[in-house]
Structure 1
């Protein structure tokens, strides 16, 4: 329980800060970026470009912080990532507007997102291996699920706070200063996460052996030199999951606002309810994977997101029930990926290179496909072809489904080396 708390509370802080940006983008985009006289989507598009830029640092964080975790231990790496995230959140809270500081405002925004991207990439590498290595026999799927339980708690807090602010503040107040409040809260949560993580126990036996001089430190790219197939496998596993995740948990409310004129405050409310439902599903699916295996659950997820995005998004309307039902249906299938991805990734590598091996391929794939999902979705809308986006999701889901069926081996009963 102590290990779960140490990983989870820091993860809550990390992802609260990360997702606050997504939920509030529609409010602060016009403050940070200049508006176009001919296209009102220009500030929002620019904001999502910066969202994607933040993902560029995630592979670097997965590589460098993952390597640091393999060399010096998971606990030290997790302490480093939580400090970085707090700094990035504080920078976002004080970002000047374009009217006040010109181009300096967008520059500060980009720097803050780069810092957060480095932190989040490193967080996944360190925290997921920490969780799986802390699990007792036969419970790695359950412990793995807490990666997205804590992620969803952070996202839920971000969505909930954004919804409360949007409902209680006038649009003018929300656009001028209300969007800064959650970023300040995020900096405070990061301090709490730092304090709790100091009480965690190290899980990596390799780190202890290195400190005693009993084994040589692993090099940065050792995971790819010795395990290239496993690294490429994680890329294939993650493609569908990351596009589906960032679309269904983050971008879908904004997609509804733009395409069917869904009310901003109601969209945030729907997002909050569906995220609570999503969080409850995680440990249930994680325990199920410990019973029946990882592979059948991933295949179910892949088939679901190959077949469902086009009809589900085609049924979207400005009805509260419509968006809620569509979002919850997608999240049932999405849980087949999120609840066990940490276990599958960690079970693919030995302890010596587990953090960097699991962290870098995953973060690289998230940067290429997950971080660009809101941008691509908005670009399709801007091109007057919003219906192309669900087809894009289905095509990528099909790629991963083929990987699950033909390339993935069952790992639930294998000992964690």
Structure 2
């Protein structure tokens, strides 16, 4: 009979210690994979108008909504990726599955840069786009949950928030790299060149980035928590069945937390460039510079927020963010709708500060919902179900709502409602700061390499 995580914690004062150098390598390798993942997603959102014209043909402005809908296609298969790859990571280890996901994601990104245009392939071009996005979505279903579990299981208990925040630092870094690269291309290339071939360059760069991430991950050992399971012969034979029958409650909590978290992420980081350009009619370069500045602010603050969560707890920050989005989302979009420099800056700052409280805490909070033997699978299933329904669909829904209502600030209402729905999950989540992960022994970091 397999013992539960709670029972193993009561067996005795076991303790694991990992060198600080090893923890840093593990964090860097996991964050690099996340950077590659979101580099691609960031590119897609920043070159939407070019993809619309090239792959779908016709006027780019008329096809932006369809391209955003195709963006959401990848999210249809993310839960399947989570269901397959997550439990697989609980059976064969986090490292092997994470190597698989980063190769698949970066390879798919590279292929996006090689897509034929609508003029060359007709409707074959958007069909190929859909197929590549489906492959990408499947691989992504096993990336974030595994990367978060990987860092959380390496990180010492007292600094888990600090180290896990580097995962989202990688996320934001992917966006910044994408936005910066696209901005440079827009400044240095003519509009005709950008439409013809310039938009492909960032996708082609994703291939080599993925190989770098694979090399970093190949140099790492399996996590201490998973190795302990292997040594005790407690690796679950059927983690999918186990997580669905015995751990469905934390999955529901995960879905609830991720609901408003992902609506916030996809509204603020994904939809914002399209919103500024197509709804507020800003030129492409100023719009990207606004978003790039906002993301740099987030990158500057995210690590201190993660460290703060180790001192005061994750829950106070998550509660503050949730209530803040309920109260301030609509006023922030009203400020953006002024289309003035200071209105735009203030609106983005409000949204960025509310979002960074989630980015700095969620990657440490969500892995702590699950025992070691089902952590990868439980996290991936709950996270990707919620992301598929509420996250990936957000840009297309928001674009439709703005058009249908004629209210440019309506995205703020959507954000507020999502946060209100998630409030129940935010209230019931247990504090995990400075505590061992469920099913794991106490861990600390040694300064000895």
TM-score category, normalised to shorter length: over 0.9
The equivalent residue for 2:266 is: 246
Give the SS at the match of 1:220: helix
Is the aligned partner of 1:66 residue 2:86? yes
The equivalent residue for 1:231 is: 251
Distance 1:102 1:114, change over 3 A: same
Q: Which moved more, 1:9-18 or 1:131-140?
A: 9-18
* Distance apart, 1:311 and its partner CA: 1.0
* 8 Å contact from structure 1 (residues 278, 328) kept in 2: no
The equivalent residue for 2:96 is: 76
The equivalent residue for 1:163 is: 183
* 8 Å contact from structure 2 (residues 61, 278) kept in 1: no
* Distance apart, 1:57 and its partner CA: 2.0
Count of aligned positions: 413
* Distance apart, 1:41 and its partner CA: 4.1
Distance 1:329 1:253 in 2: 16
Distance 1:312 1:205 in 2: 43
Give the SS at the match of 2:433: coil
Match of 1:403 among 420, 425, 437: 425
The equivalent residue for 2:290 is: 270
* Distance apart, 1:248 and its partner CA: 0.8
* 8 Å contact from structure 1 (residues 16, 155) kept in 2: yes
| Matches for 1:17-416 after TM superposition, within 5 Å | 17-35=40-58, 41-203=61-223, 205-206=225-226, 209-210=229-230, 215-316=235-336, 317-383=338-404, 384-405=406-427, 407-416=428-437
* Distance apart, 1:71 and its partner CA: 0.5
* 8 Å contact from structure 1 (residues 55, 371) kept in 2: yes
Give the SS at the match of 1:347: helix
Q: Which moved more, 1:329-338 or 1:385-394?
A: 385-394
Distance 2:344 2:239 in 1: 47
Distance 1:291 1:209, change over 3 A: closer
Q: Which runs of 5+ in 2 are unaligned?
A: 1-23, 440-449
Distance 1:118 1:215, change over 3 A: closer
1:137-172, Cα deviation, whole Å (9 max, x unpaired): 211111221111011111110010011111111111
1:272-320, Cα deviation, whole Å (9 max, x unpaired): 1111111121111111111111111111000111111111111223334
The equivalent residue for 1:16 is: 39
Distance 1:113 1:211 in 2: 39
* 8 Å contact from structure 1 (residues 210, 216) kept in 2: no
Larger RCO: Structure 1 or Structure 2 (Cα < 8 Å, ≥ 6 residues apart)?
2
Distance 2:394 2:152 in 1: 28
Distance 2:53 2:402 in 1: 18
* Alignment root-mean-square deviation, CA: 1.7
* Distance apart, 1:60 and its partner CA: 1.7
Give the SS at the match of 2:429: coil
The equivalent residue for 2:29 is: 6
Distance 2:286 2:30 in 1: 32
Q: Which moved more, 1:252-261 or 1:200-209?
A: 200-209
Distance 1:348 1:167, change over 3 A: same
Distance 1:216 1:312 in 2: 47
Give the SS at the match of 1:53: helix
* 8 Å contact from structure 2 (residues 254, 366) kept in 1: yes
Greater C-alpha radius of gyration: 2
Q: Which runs of 5+ in 1 are unaligned?
A: none
* 8 Å contact from structure 1 (residues 51, 371) kept in 2: yes
Distance 1:109 1:380 in 2: 25
* Distance apart, 1:206 and its partner CA: 3.9
* Distance apart, 1:401 and its partner CA: 2.4
* Distance apart, 1:395 and its partner CA: 0.8
* Distance apart, 1:110 and its partner CA: 0.8
